[in-house]
Structure 1
Amino acid sequence: MAKLSVNINKIATLRNSRGGDVPNVVQFAKDVQRFGAEGITIHPRPDERHIRYQDARDLKPEVYTEYNIEGNPIQSFMDLVLEVKPTQVTLVPDAEDAITSNAGWDTVKHKDFLVDVITEFKNNGIRTSIFVDPVLQQIEGAKATGTDRIELYTEGFAHQYGLGNKNSIKAYTESAVLANSLDLGINAGHDLSLENIKFFKENIPGLLEVSIGHALVAESLYLGVENVVQMYLQKLK
């Protein structure tokens, strides 16, 4: 069974839109864990437009499942991760003005940089994962960096699946087979939803973890948070 890590960025976005502390991101994290989520993911950006750096610190004592912090490894992000020491850090090459993550790493071009960053995190006991596109060369490049895991960037799959093109899974399946042969753990995330998660999981051998935020929060508006968490857990079995 792949683990469900709930990305709570959207809860912070809602809080920030009104000011104050409603909804409270720490309480939401505690609640979704109580409902069965097996991890909490946050993606703090330099402008703190949703999750703030202080949120990362406040969440640390309350996340008793897996704690995953995503982000571009600029110095301030690295300092935060080394201070908080989550279970896992996921390296994402997003620009500061990006609305959301929109590409994986070029692990070949940026190998030396990634090796340095990953070595620093692993020396501090933090599991590492690299956000990558489903391209075999990039999977091989990820292995060369020393990372523990990859996170497959699934927007392309989700978009094509929504159009009825289930063949879009092929590149992801091939990437997973290669990652397994290289002893790389496999995570996945971006636009996964109740509609497509079961098909995706069934076609990704060795899938360890999915990170889901936007869809889960949107679905919860209609179906309720506890119910939606349970629905994902059933589909991930």
Structure 2
Amino acid sequence: MTKLSVNINKIATLRNARGGDRPNVVQAAKDCERFGAQGITVHPRPDQRHIRYRDVYELKEVVTTEFNIEGNPTPEFIKLVTEIKPEQVTLVPDAPDAITSNAGWDTIHHKDFLTQTILELKSHGIRVSIFVDPDEGLVEGAALVETDRIELYTEAYAKGYHQNKEQAIAPYIRAVKRAQEFALGINAGHDLDLDNLKYLKDSLPQLDEVSIGHALICDALYFGLENTIQLYLRQLK
């Protein structure tokens, strides 16, 4: 079964909009796990507009499932994750002012940088995943920098799903096949929701993990957090 990691950035966004500590990010993570989530994902950014570095240290003390920390590997980010040593770090090439992640790594152009960064993280016993577009050449490049996993950037799939789902999923099927040739683990994330998740999972049964935040938290406003997590888990069975 593909694991569900819940990204709780939007919980922190809501908290920060008003100040104070409501909703409490740590409690939200504990509740997500209690309701069935198999992992917790956070993506701290330099401006700390949602998840703050302090949150990440506090979450490390309570998360009992897989803790996945995403981010651009700046010196500050590397210091954070090597101190915390989560189960997984996902490297994302987002600019500081990006509203959300909007592209994967050019694993060929950034080969030396990624190789050095991944080697350092692995020396701390951290599994490394890197964000990539569904391109066979970039997947091969990911294998050459010796990452453990790739996370397929699924925005293109989500955008094309309602127009032609077979066409939308096709490059991801090819990318997964190439990743398997190099024995890479395979994650996926971005714009996945209750409409498009099951078809993705059925088409890519090799997926190890999906990371979902925005859509899941939006659905929770209507269905409740516990019920929503269960709805997402059913799409992955």
TM-score, reference length from structure 2: 0.99
Q: Does 1:138 align with 2:126?
A: no
Runs of 4+, deviation exceeding 4 Å: none
Q: Deviations over 1:70-111 (max 9, x none)?
A: 000000000000011100000000000000000000000000
Q: Does 1:47 align with 2:47?
A: yes
Distance 2:214 2:11 in 1: 9
Residue 180 of structure 1 deviates from its aligned partner by 1.1
Distance 2:180 2:206 in 1: 7
Residue 166 of structure 1 deviates from its aligned partner by 3.3
Distance 1:234 1:134 in 2: 25
Task: In structure 2, list runs of 5 or more residues that go unmatched.
Answer: none
Distance 1:159 1:34 in 2: 32
- The within-5 A match list for 1:13-162 is 13-162=13-162
Q: Deviations over 1:165-217 (max 9, x none)?
A: 43110000110111111100000000000111000001114100000000000
Residue 163 of structure 1 deviates from its aligned partner by 3.2
Q: Counterpart of 1:10 in 2: which secondary structure?
A: helix
CA contact under 8 A between 1:7 and 1:212: conserved in structure 2? yes
Letter in 2 for 1:14: L
Greater mean deviation of Cα atoms: 132-141 or 201-210: 201-210
Aligned length in residues = 237
Greater mean deviation of Cα atoms: 35-44 or 162-171: 162-171
Task: In structure 1, list runs of 5 or more residues that go unmatched.
Answer: none
CA contact under 8 A between 1:160 and 1:166: conserved in structure 2? no
Distance 1:66 1:163 in 2: 35
Distance 1:232 1:167 in 2: 23
Letter in 1 for 2:20: G
Residue 164 of structure 1 deviates from its aligned partner by 4.3
Greater mean deviation of Cα atoms: 31-40 or 173-182: 173-182
Residue 234 of structure 1 deviates from its aligned partner by 1.1
Distance 2:234 2:50 in 1: 29
Residue 162 of structure 1 deviates from its aligned partner by 3.1
Q: Counterpart of 2:61 in 1: which secondary structure?
A: helix
Distance 1:116 1:21 in 2: 38
Q: Does 1:169 align with 2:162?
A: no
Which residue is equivalent to 2:181?
Answer: 181
Letter in 2 for 1:42: V
TM-score, reference length from structure 1: 0.99
Distance 1:163 1:102 in 2: 21
Which residue is equivalent to 1:223?
Answer: 223
Letter in 2 for 1:10: K
Distance 2:98 2:162 in 1: 23
CA contact under 8 A between 1:173 and 1:205: conserved in structure 2? no
Distance 2:82 2:136 in 1: 31
Letter in 2 for 1:213: G
CA contact under 8 A between 1:189 and 1:212: conserved in structure 2? yes
Residue 61 of structure 1 deviates from its aligned partner by 1.2
Q: Deviations over 1:50-81 (max 9, x none)?
A: 00000000000111000000000000000000
